[in-house]
Structure formats: structure tokens, C-alpha cells
Amino acid sequence: MLFPQLLTVVILCAAMVLLAVLTIIDFRVRLLPNKYVFPFAGLGVMFHLVQDWSLLSPEEMIGGGMLGYGLLWSIRALGSWYYKQEAMGLGDVKLMGAAGLWLGVENLMLALSVGAFLSILHGLIYALLYKKSLHKLEIPAGPGLIGGIVLMMGWVLWTHQNTIFT
């Protein structure tokens, strides 16, 4: 049937545009505005609904969203306590909650791991290029997390392409 396939492609394209916009904004002003994060979350729900819950059940989707939000909120709280200042913005927390709706628990954890690696790599390259000390380096977390999300979304699409586009 053509309509669900077309709607799936539209949803995926809109999600990628939102993630690109969020990356640009976070690089420029270190914010992940709700007006882009929440639609990304909504598109995740729509994606699984259009797919008739073939990739994630509603329970798996909700579990991923709760884990993404809860885990990042905990990391933020511990980091802020340890550094005695805000260690991570709430936009990053909400972004990973939204990503959990798309990816579920297992793929969310992989996205978070890849995203953390990309953020560390970004920080090291930035420090080397601009001769900054790693001790006081402040870089936005969003672009690295978004890189992990995009890579895992791509992996899910690649491994389930026969299910998604048939």
C-alpha cells in the first residue's frame, strides 16, 4: 500500500529536518528549544503508529521515552551537583526522551553511547584546533547526541527496511 510508505518517508524527512535545525541551534546558542524537540517526539509516535507498531510496541516506545528522559535527567542532576553548576540543559534531557520514543530502550542506549563518543570526539577536536584546556571546555551535548540518534535511526531503518517500506 502506497500511502503508509509515503507517510513514513514524510515523517522521516521531517524528523531529519528537525534534528538538523536542533543541531544548528545548539551549536550557535546552546539551546534545544521545545518547539523543535516536542514535534520530533510526536513524529516518533506517528512513525510507530503508521508502522502499525511493527518495530516497537506502545509499551516499548513509552519505556524508551521514560528511560531516555530519566537517565539524562539523572546524569544532569549528578553532574550539576558535582560541578556546582548546570552540567547539561533540560533540552538534552527532553531530546533523549523523544529519541527513546523513536528507538526503544536497546537502541536508545546505543544512540546514547555513540552520541557520548561523538561529543567527546567533538570536544577533543575543538580543544586541539583552538588550543583550549580540556579542564574547562564547554561544548554543547546536543549535536553529539543527535549524531548518535541519527546513526541509530539509520541502523533501524536499514535492518528493518523490508518491514518499513513494504
Look at residue 137 in the predicted model and tell me its pLDDT.
80
Q: How many CB atoms lie within 10 A of CB 138?
A: 8
Give the range of the structural domain holding residue 118, as residue numbers without chain letter.
2-164
Structure confidence by residue, pLDDT tens digits, 112-141: 999 999 999 999 998 999 888 877 788 899
pLDDT at 1 > cutoff 60: no
pLDDT at 83 > cutoff 60: yes
Mean of the pLDDT values across residues 41-50?
Answer: 97
Domains: count for the chain: 1
For residues 148 and 108, give the distance between their C-alpha atoms in angstroms, rounded to a whole number.
Answer: 9
Mean of the pLDDT values across residues 141-151?
Answer: 97
Reduced to 3 states, what is the DSSP secondary structure of residue 117? helix
